[in-house]
């Protein structure tokens, strides 16, 4: 413990990943199902990311789930190539994070720790599915968190509130 600027004791941050796991995964290869109609394939990728976190019954333990939905379509014909959905989770033991900072910590720092593993899974699954490996670009979890806060603030505004 160290002293905070106001003289109060401050607990040091401790974080460990207790477990990582694929909670759910689906890979749909539209090319294999329907057959490729054209040799002119120009993949266009769309990636959606969502996050979920919850407190576990054990003290100082939290579960964080990162959800990725990756859609590949042929830009030339706008036909689907594949759809990959993966929910990847981690169980974290966290101490020393103030209560008012726990929510952003769970939805920013924890997914940041899980990301390299999800990236590898996505790359392997797309390659094993018969496509070039898809390497996810790094995700800005801070921007994702801020966007979600803004979205929630917008939906919680009263209907008669003035728009600024």
pLDDT tens-digit series, residues 70-123: 999 988 888 899 999 999 999 999 999 999 999 999 999 999 999 999 999 999
Q: What are phi and psi of 105, to 5 degrees?
A: -60, -45
Q: Which helix (H) or strand (E) holds 18?
A: strand 14-29
Name which residue leads in pLDDT, 76 or 54: 54
């Amino acid at each position: 413990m160290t002293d905070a600027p106001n003289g109060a004791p401050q607990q040091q941050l401790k974080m460990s990943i207790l477990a990582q796991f694929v909670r759910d995964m689906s890979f749909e290869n539209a090319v294999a199902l329907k057959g490729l109609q054209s040799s002119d394939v120009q993949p266009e990728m769309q990636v959606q990311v969502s996050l979920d976190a919850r407190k576990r019954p054990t003290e100082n333990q939290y579960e964080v789930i990162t959800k990725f939905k990756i859609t590949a379509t042929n830009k030339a014909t706008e036909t689907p190539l594949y759809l990959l959905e993966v929910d990847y989770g981690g169980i974290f033991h966290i101490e020393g994070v103030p209560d008012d900072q726990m929510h952003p910590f769970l939805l920013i720092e924890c997914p940041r720790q899980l990301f390299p593993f999800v990236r590898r899974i996505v790359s392997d699954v797309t390659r094993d599915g018969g496509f070039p490996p898809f390497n996810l670009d790094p995700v800005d979890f801070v921007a994702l968190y801020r966007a979600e806060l803004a979205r929630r603030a917008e939906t919680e505004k009263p209907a008669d509130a003035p728009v600024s």
